[in-house]
Structures are given as structure tokens and as C-alpha cells.
Amino acid sequence: MSAFLAVNTEDVEPEAGAPAPDRVISGDPKFCTWNVEERDGGLYAGVWEATPGKWRIVYDEWEFCHILSGVSVIAEDGGEARTVRAGDSFVLRPGFKGTWEVLETTRKEYVIRL
């Protein structure tokens, strides 16, 4: 088994999802997730896509994100709202609370560590 893994969504069955109904603020956002790596100890990597809408987010995990396409606004409670688009990279740390609003269907690569 190779220690190199390409992030390729063609070989992965996508998982459909959505925010919990009590977290949705507006719209009808839907998710599609291609999880290409999952390791014991809570490590995940892959591609996630969401359709327009706005919902509350609460992070217990650490997540690195790289936006591939689309436009979203991520607002931290008591802090700044940031617009992210293709080419932007960022980390959401444990304890982050706020909202994620997808203005244009957004696709990101992610690495999550629980």
C-alpha cells in the first residue's frame, strides 16, 4: 500500500447531508462530502460542497480548509465576518462558533483532526 493518496473524488462514493434543522437560519443548504481519508484517532480528509443557505456552526474539532470554488461568508460570534472564495485557505480551531453562509455553491478541500 502506497503512503501517497491523491485527493480524487471520482473513486469515492459521495455522502449527502445537511445542517441540523435547528441550525438553519436561511435557505435550504445541502451538503455533499467525498471523504477520501479516514484514520483512527479522528483524522479525515476530502472534499465538501454546499449549496446556498446559512446555518450556525460550532467546532469541537480542528479543520484546515482550502476553497476550490464558490463564495461563502464565515462569521465568528462576537468577531469579524470573512468572505472566502476560490484560492483561500484557513483554519477553524476548536471553540469556533458562528455562522457559515454559502452565497454561491462552495466546494472546499478539508483536513479535520478531532
Task: Give residue-wise pLDDT tens across range 66-86.
Answer: 999 999 999 999 999 999 999
- Measured CA to CA, the distance from residue 2 to residue 88 in angstroms comes to 29
The answer to whether residue 47 sits within a structural domain is: yes
Neighbouring residues of 26: CB distance < 8 A, sequence distance ≥ 6: 53, 54, 101
1: pLDDT strictly greater than 80: no
pTM: 0.94
The answer to whether residue 7 sits within a structural domain is: no
Q: What is the pLDDT of residue 14?
A: 96
The answer to whether residue 77 sits within a structural domain is: yes
The answer to whether residue 41 sits within a structural domain is: yes
Instruction: For residue 11, count other CB atoms closer than 10 A to its CB.
Output: 8
Domain residues for the domain of 60 are 14-113
